[in-house]
């Protein structure tokens, strides 16, 4: 059961928050929004309240907000691609009334939920041009397009702050669990159970603080102050050796200083006042974003192998594995994926938010809209780019799945 529920909750929440941002911003700007959909494909549930039809679809791999637009002279999707409800034949024109001719019966037919007082596609009333997406000022359009990623970042921030306030600050204490023979820690005389309290005179409490001071110090002598059970404080001098290790963010190999000691794998926690939780949650959210930006930049620069990019299968597997370890780590994964969605959506690919933002800014600079053919070519290029990326991540996912099955 967890295999199905955890991915649906994680995906659904991240997607819902993103699309809710677009939807609320569009509503606030006065743009006509006849559909709010979570997922693609056949509708599992749909219900119209006021001007908007709310849909839960079969494939929870995305979502979209349908907005009145010039792109098809009636309705268009800013995200997700166009669709015609199965009970309708296609219509064109801003004044399309949702009433068409069935070529077989030769008679007009309407939607099952036809409303004579509603606008298209629910009724005969035309959509006023001032409620089109393109009729709004550039600033309003940019707010609508940025609202999705803003909500994703806000979700990540709320989770990080809430987790810090609820669980406190989790950390690995600077306590040595093991030392490797012949490595600097063992040669200097460090032992299991030693607590490192200072590095070069700087007080440390967590293992990450110890690592942060040792990694850039390869080949340079360091002094460690250690609290040893039954003995008290002792000082040691050692010289970290240079080793190759993966970067904690990108995974790319780099040369760092190491002493050959491992920490005790027992998390400790310290309670935090709310103000400190806000600061810690904000720092954590910023680090998440910077880490993802670094990975994306590394992919384009060739520093991060494309084989490391995972897709839906990898994310589902990760979600299930994390959900089994506890609610706190699941919250962390939701936060991570939410920031991921925000940053990836800002890439300047036409079908993504970043591409739409760039397109609207270029049209504003140009002083007029691009022709329908130009926009079609731009959107096709964006669709092709997304399809190529999807093929890459699915290839990586399937290769990893096959490797696990045959190993």
Q: What residue spans define the domains of the chain?
A: 31-135, 170-269, 273-406
Q: Is 116:123 a contact under the CB 8 Å cutoff?
A: yes
- Taking residue 255's Cβ as centre, other Cβ atoms within 10 Å add up to 10
What pLDDT is attached to residue 102? 38
Following DSSP, what letter does each residue of 114-164 receive, concatenated?
A: --TTSBTTTSSBPPPGGGSGGGS-HHHHHHHHHHHHHHHHHHHHHHHHHHH
> Cα(276)–Cα(260) distance, rounded to whole angstroms?
33
Q: What is the CA radius of gyration of the chain?
A: 27
Chunked into runs of 10 residues, the chain (407 residues) has average pLDDT values of 72 91 95 90 88 87 84 44 40 33 46 78 88 93 96 96 90 92 93 93 92 90 92 92 75 82 87 92 92 81 71 74 80 91 90 90 89 84 83 78 74
Q: pTM of the prediction?
A: 0.76
Six token digits for residue 246:
């993966």
What pLDDT is attached to residue 58? 82
The neighbouring-strand residues paired with 224 are: 199, 236
What pLDDT is attached to residue 41? 78
From residue 248, alpha-carbon distances to 24, 136, 286, 288 in Å are 37, 44, 16, 12
What pLDDT is attached to residue 146? 96
- For residues 285-307, b (16+ Cβ closer than 10 Å) or e, as one string? beebbebbebbbebeeeeebeee
What pLDDT is attached to residue 2? 56
CA nearest to 35, candidates 26, 17, 16, 48:
48
What pLDDT is attached to residue 240? 92
What pLDDT is attached to residue 20? 95
CATH number belonging to domain 170-269: 2.30.42.10
Find the DSSP H helices in 274-311.
274-301
CA nearest to 307, candidates 316, 294, 298:
298
What pLDDT is attached to residue 83? 42
What pLDDT is attached to residue 251? 62
What pLDDT is attached to residue 395? 78
Q: Is 348:133 a contact under the CB 8 Å cutoff?
A: no
CB within 8 A of 99, min separation 6: which ones? 108, 109, 110, 124
């Amino acid at each position: 059961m967890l295999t199905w529920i955890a991915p649906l909750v994680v995906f659904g929440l991240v997607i819902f928050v993103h699309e809710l941002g677009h939807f609320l911003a569009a509503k606030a700007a006065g743009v006509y929004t006849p559909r709010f959909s979570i997922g693609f494909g056949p509708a599992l549930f749909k219900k119209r309240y006021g001007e908007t039809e709310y849909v839960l679809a079969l494939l929870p791999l995305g979502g979209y907000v349908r907005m009145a637009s010039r792109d098809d002279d009636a309705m268009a999707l800013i995200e997700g691609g166009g669709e015609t409800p199965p009970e309708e034949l296609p219509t064109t024109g801003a004044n399309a009334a949702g009433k068409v001719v069935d070529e077989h019966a030769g008679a007009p037919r309407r939607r099952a939920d036809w409303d004579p007082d509603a606008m298209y596609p629910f009724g005969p009333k035309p959509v006023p041009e001032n409620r089109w997406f393109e009729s709004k000022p550039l600033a309003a359009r940019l707010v609508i397009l940025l609202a999705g990623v803003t909500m994703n970042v806000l979700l990540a921030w709320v989770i990080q702050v809430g987790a810090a306030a609820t669980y406190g600050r989790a950390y690995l204490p600077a306590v040595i669990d093991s030392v490797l023979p012949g490595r600097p820690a063992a040669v200097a005389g460090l032992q299991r159970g030693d607590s490192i309290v200072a590095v070069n005179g700087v007080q440390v409490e967590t293992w990450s603080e110890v690592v942060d001071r040792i990694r850039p110090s390869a080949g340079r002598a360091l002094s460690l102050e250690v609290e040893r059970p039954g003995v008290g404080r002792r000082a040691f001098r050692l010289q970290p050796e240079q080793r190759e290790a993966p970067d904690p963010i990108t995974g790319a190999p780099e040369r760092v200083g190491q002493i050959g000691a491992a920490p005790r794998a027992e998390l400790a926690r310290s309670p935090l006042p709310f103000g400190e939780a806000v600061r810690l949650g904000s720092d954590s959210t910023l680090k998440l974003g910077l880490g993802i930006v670094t990975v994306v930049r590394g992919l384009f620069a060739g520093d991060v192998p494309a084989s490391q990019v995972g897709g839906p299968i990898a994310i589902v597997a990760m979600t299930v594995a994390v959900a089994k370890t506890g609610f706190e780590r699941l919250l962390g994964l939701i936060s991570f994926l939410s920031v991921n969605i925000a940053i990836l959506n800002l890439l300047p690919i036409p079908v993504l938010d970043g591409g739409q933002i760039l397109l609207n800014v270029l049209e504003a600079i140009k002083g007029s809209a691009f022709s329908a053919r130009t926009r079609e070519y731009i959107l096709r290029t964006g669709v092709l780019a997304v399809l190529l990326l999807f093929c890459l991540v699915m290839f990586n996912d399937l290769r990893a799945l096959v490797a696990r099955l045959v190993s």
